[in-house]
A and B are shown apart, each in its own frame.
Chain A
Amino acid sequence: MNDIAPDILERSAAGNLDAFEEIYKATSSFVYNVALRVTRNSANAEEVTQDVFMKIYRNLKSFGFRSSFKTWVYRITVNTAINHYRKSGKEERSRVDYDNVIETLPDNRPETAIEQSDSQARLNALLDRLSPEHKTCLILREIEGLSYAEIAGALNIPLNTVRTRLKRARQALLAEAERRPDEPV
């Protein structure tokens, strides 16, 4: 996520919509992709993204710049995505998102691209086996490249808990990867 100049934050807090669009441009990719990884559904990811930006807009005045703006956005995103995931029914969660699948399919489907899309489907299936907390921790570290301190700030947990969650999530993924595909879960 790109850094945002303080004057843009101040103008946004004063209600300037152009300045708020700058914030959107700098942060929307992070927000949308984390939402997509957690909810696994493009429609839900759009809903979460809209919710996150409405929360940012409403609370920017009271933000107070006591903590890093980036950490604040991480926290709002993660909390909104996890809450949305928990509220959505089990049935909705297991539904295949065809938009997402079509986007990942390459046009001419050369072998390497097929392998890549298969490995993405496998990654998604493995991530689905994890709890939302472990999954989010791993997404923030492995895909978004956040440091332990940033993850701790985003999830509002101690550094040691970040470490433990990452370790357990990796162990669980290794165990799942070693399980034969026909083996019952």
Chain B
Amino acid sequence: MSRCKEIQDLLQAEYFDRESGPKEEQSVQEHLKQCSACGTLEKKLQAQRLLFQGAKPKPVPAHLWGNIRDAIIAQRLEEETPVPGILERLKNLVFLRRPAMVLAASVFSVVLVVAALVNANLQNQSALRKLSAAEGIAGYSLSAKNGYTIDDLGTGIEEYFL
């Protein structure tokens, strides 16, 4: 039985693949003449091999070389394009024209100028209002000093006729 196991090990590998030495080959052949179980295994293995022998190689698709050649050329082009150094990348970062950045900077500058102008205008108006209010009070005080009693300051029109 252990002899059968030994022979079946060889049958399923070296002997079957013609990788065994002449001594092993001879001992397997002698055993196969006497043992029907190992002989059956050999026949099954031969039948299995027939399945593989029927497997014909498929032709390689014709377009495949074209795809590979294109991929190689693309890779070469990529390798040939020089990689910019640190200084060049820094220069590009600072000086490279970026339309969106330029537009944003222009809009921001315009907004700053307009905001400054509006602010200055508002401050002027406020100063003028304070000045006219001070002049009005001074005017009323002057009238009181001249003997007039003002009970009702009234509206602007009334003040005009007074």
Contacts and interface: CB of A to CB of B under 8 A. Distances in A.
Interface of A: 15, 17, 20-21, 24, 28-29, 32-33, 36-37, 42, 46, 49-50, 53-54, 57-58, 100, 103, 116, 119-120, 122-123, 126, 138, 141-143, 147-148, 163-164, 166-167, 170-171, 173-174, 177
B9 A167 contact: yes
Interface string B40-65: 00001100110110110111110011
29 contacts: A17-B73, A20-B72, A28-B65, A29-B57, A29-B59, A29-B60, A32-B58, A32-B61, A37-B55, A46-B61, A49-B64, A50-B64, A50-B67, A54-B71, A57-B72, A58-B75, A100-B58, A123-B51, A123-B52, A123-B55, A126-B51, A138-B52, A142-B49, A143-B55, A148-B14, A164-B13, A166-B13, A167-B9, A173-B48
Contact of B51 (A100, A119, A171): A119
Contacts of A103: 58
Interface of B: 9, 12-14, 16-17, 19, 44-45, 48-49, 51-52, 54-55, 57-61, 64-65, 67-69, 71-73, 75-76
A83 to B, nearest CB: 19
